[in-house]
Every structure is written in structure tokens, then in C-alpha cells.
């Protein structure tokens, strides 16, 4: 395959500490910032929290633990926590958990030093964010799932329950000061969580490689590699959940996919999934997984070249010759992966919806989340978007 150099920008100011027992480096990392630490985590991983606290206990740190109110904390909750903690002085924040814990740690790094409601800092399709005028608190991120890649991105996803929307803060100020990826703390992940967070990571790799908004050869390199790893090891890890070698591979794939989206971003499937997540309580990874195939099928009909090109990069063989056959094979391969991990499903497998639910998603998508739609290889018309949304919701 020919590689042509082109102009691009790349910035990843995140020291990465990767590997089994890399959490042991936490005390020396924290000491760079001070002794007063806010630990953001969730009660359902208390066994991992205890391990982290035991690593820090002999290092003279003062630690306050903050537990998420729900799997996806609301903006009003973040604002209220920031107000409650305003009298305390923290030197850094540790985000321990999945994407929600890490994103909340990033959000609080802004909210504890800046005065505006956190939603005002979201970079939305229909309005620009408020500028972050005061220095954010340093954040150290320790993922306990292999999925979001938030430990290496400048993003924090927000849920505004009052207006049923999701939005994303996109600020280099919230790149973590250290990302600690320790696969040994991921071995207790249940299979369902492993599956849908793994498919979220796969979608990050897929969509970053499909994104037409800007050139980023590093996003392509990391995105392609992440997908290759996930195709190979995600189904296998569901059979041997405690396998540390496979957990290490999956954790690395998630980080690679995070690097990919940090520099290119996602497209239509994520736009629909986040819009849907603002309206109903459905885990983000599931929403993304079940949105992927309907979007790919519609892309196949309008722009098979984009999928054929991706096939060449992902599978790199000469067995299949025609553009259409390559595009078909790519879609079938992703569909087979979803089937193997038990996510070849629809919204109505998880959530009861009203008859006007497709219209609600479409309306919010077009009004509030339209920018990622323009980054996809095909900019679908409203009729096609409606068909995609209906296929995501209803079993055919």
C-alpha cells in the first residue's frame, strides 16, 4: 500500500504509563502536584478503589473520595458537587473508573476553578463554548474499562438531563497529566461491560478512520491497529474473562482508539448514539454498538469506495478484488463481530420507546448534533437518517 506524506498536526501531551501494576507509579506521579487529592470513582468498583487507596496510604496524601450519583452524571450534579467542594483546596483529581468517572474528573477540573455552569463549556454544533479563563486542576486518569479512551483525549461528555441533550467539552486544558493503564485492574469486568465498552473502542477506531474533516495519518495508524486487535481478541476475552494477556491487548486497543479520536473525532453513528443517550437511559457503548451497522449499511449504498478503502487498510489482502465486494465484506465483518459479542441488537431489546421516538431523535440530531454528520463520508438526507434511526430502534 502506498503511503503519501501530507501536512497534519498532532499533539498528545499525555504521559502514558501502560502495563500490569503500572498503578504502583501513582504516588510518584501525584507528588508532582501536591498532597490534597480528590478521587472520583463509583461504588461498584470499591475493590479497585481500595487497591488504589492502599497504594497511596503511606505517602502522606489527604484523599477525599467522591462517588458518581449514576452511571452518567448530569450537569446539574457536577455543578452542585463543584459548589459543595468550593471551600476545599485540591492539588489534583484522580479519575478512577470508566468513561463517566474520567469525564467527571475532567469536568470538575474546570468547574472547581471556573465560575460558569459546566454545560456552558460544552462545544456544541449550534453554539460555541464559553472560554476556560482560569487554570484547570491537574487530572490523573486510571481507566478500569477498555472502551472510551478518555485517558488520552481532550474530551469530556456531558449529560444535560434538563434539556435531554448530550454534549462534549473539547479542550486541550483537560488532557490528563498522566494516564495510567493497568490491565490487572480490568480482569473483574463483567462480560456485558467488556463487550459494549470494547465495541465503543472499535467504533472510535472505525469512525476516526472514516472522518473526512481533517487529515490525521496518526489517527489512521492508531485507529486501524485498535480495530485489528479488537476483532481478534474481544470475542475471545468473553470466553476467558480473567486472561491478563487478552486484557492487556484490549486495554492497549482502547488507548490507541482514544488517540485516534483525540485527533480526528467521530461521525454519524456516535452522533446518533449520543443524541439517543440524551433522551433515554441506555449505556453509551450499547448505543454506539447498535448504531454502527445501520450507518455502515447506508454508507455502503451511497459510498462503497469509502468502505473499500477502509477494508484495504484493515485487512490488507488481495483476495477480494472489487470495490463493492470489499465494502460488503467490511460491513459483514463488523456485523459478525457484533454477533459474536452479543450486540447484534436494537434499542427495543433494551428500552421501551414511544411511536414518536424516531422523530425525537431526528429532530434533536438535526438541531443539536449536526456537526459530526458532516464529518462522515456520506452526508445523509433527512429521509435516510430517519430510516437509519428506525433500523437502530426496531428489530426488522
Contact 226, 254 (CB under 8 A): yes
Q: DSSP character for 44?
A: G
Q: pLDDT tens-digit profile of 235-283?
A: 999 999 899 999 999 999 999 999 999 999 999 999 999 999 999 999 9
Looking at residue 1, what is its pLDDT?
41
pTM above 0.85, yes or no: yes
- Rounded mean pLDDT, 288-292: 98
Q: pLDDT tens-digit profile of 343-361?
A: 999 999 999 999 999 999 9
- Rounded mean pLDDT, 114-125: 96
Which string of DSSP letters, residue by residue, matches 102-142?
Answer: HHHHHHHHHHTT--S-GGGG--BTTBPPPP--SPPPPEEEE
Strand-pairing partners, residue 266, are none
Using DSSP's 3-state secondary structure scheme, residue 179 falls into strand
Domains defined for the chain, CATH in brackets: 16-185 (3.40.50.1970), 191-393 (1.20.1090.10)
Amino acid at each position: 500500500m502506498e503511503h503519501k506524506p501530507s501536512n497534519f498536526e498532532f499533539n498528545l501531551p499525555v504521559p502514558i504509563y501502560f502495563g500490569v501494576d503500572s498503578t504502583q507509579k501513582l504516588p510518584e506521579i501525584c507528588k508532582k502536584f501536591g498532597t490534597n487529592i480528590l478521587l472520583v470513582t463509583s461504588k461498584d468498583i470499591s475493590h479497585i478503589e481500595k487497591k488504589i487507596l492502599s497504594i497511596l496510604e503511606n505517602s502522606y496524601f489527604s484523599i477525599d473520595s467522591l462517588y458518581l450519583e449514576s452511571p452518567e452524571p448530569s450537569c446539574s450534579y457536577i455543578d452542585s458537587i463543584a459548589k459543595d467542594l468550593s471551600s476545599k483546596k485540591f492539588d489534583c483529581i484522580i479519575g478512577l473508573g470508566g468513561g463517566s468517572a474520567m469525564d467527571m474528573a475532567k469536568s470538575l477540573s474546570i468547574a472547581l476553578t471556573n465560575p460558569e455552569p459546566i454545560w456552558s463549556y460544552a462545544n456544541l454544533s449550534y453554539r460555541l463554548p464559553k472560554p476556560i479563563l482560569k487554570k484547570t486542576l491537574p487530572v490523573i486518569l486510571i481507566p478500569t474499562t477498555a472502551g472510551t479512551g478518555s485517558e488520552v483525549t481532550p474530551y469530556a461528555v456531558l449529560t444535560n438531563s434538563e434539556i435531554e441533550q448530550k454534549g462534549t467539552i473539547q479542550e486541550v486544558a483537560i488532557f490528563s497529566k498522566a494516564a495510567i493503564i493497568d490491565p490487572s485492574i480490568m480482569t473483574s469486568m463483567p462480560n456485558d461491560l467488556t463487550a459494549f465498552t470494547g465495541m465503543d473502542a472499535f467504533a472510535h477506531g472505525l469512525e476516526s478512520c472514516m472522518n473526512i474533516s481533517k487529515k490525521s495519518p496518526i489517527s489512521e495508524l492508531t485507529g486501524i491497529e485498535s480495530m485489528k486487535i479488537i476483532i481478534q481478541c474481544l470475542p475471545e476475552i468473553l470466553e476467558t474473562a480473567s486472561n491478563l494477556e487478552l486484557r492487556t491487548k484490549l486495554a492497549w486497543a482502547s488507548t490507541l482508539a482514544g488517540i485516534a479520536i483525540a485527533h480526528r473525532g467521530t461521525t454519524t453513528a456516535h452522533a446518533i448514539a449520543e443524541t439517543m443517550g440524551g433522551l433515554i437511559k441506555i449505556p453509551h457503548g450499547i448505543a454506539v454498538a447498535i448504531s454502527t451497522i445501520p450507518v455502515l449499511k447506508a454508507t455502503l449504498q451511497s459510498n462503497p469506495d469509502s468502505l473499500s478503502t477502509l477494508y484495504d487498510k484493515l485487512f490488507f489482502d488481495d483476495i477480494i478484488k472489487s470495490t463493492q465486494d470489499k465494502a460488503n465484506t467490511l460491513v459483514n465483518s463488523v456485523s459478525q463481530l457484533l454477533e459474536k459479542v452479543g450486540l447484534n441488537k436494537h434499542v427495543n431489546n433494551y428500552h421501551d420507546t414511544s411511536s414518536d421516538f424516531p422523530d425525537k431523535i431526528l429532530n434533536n440530531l438535526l438541531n443539536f448534533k449536526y456537526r459530526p454528520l458532516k464529518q462522515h463520508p456520506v452526508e445523509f438526507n433527512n429521509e435516510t437518517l430517519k430510516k437509519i434511526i428506525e433500523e437502530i430502534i426496531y428489530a426488522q
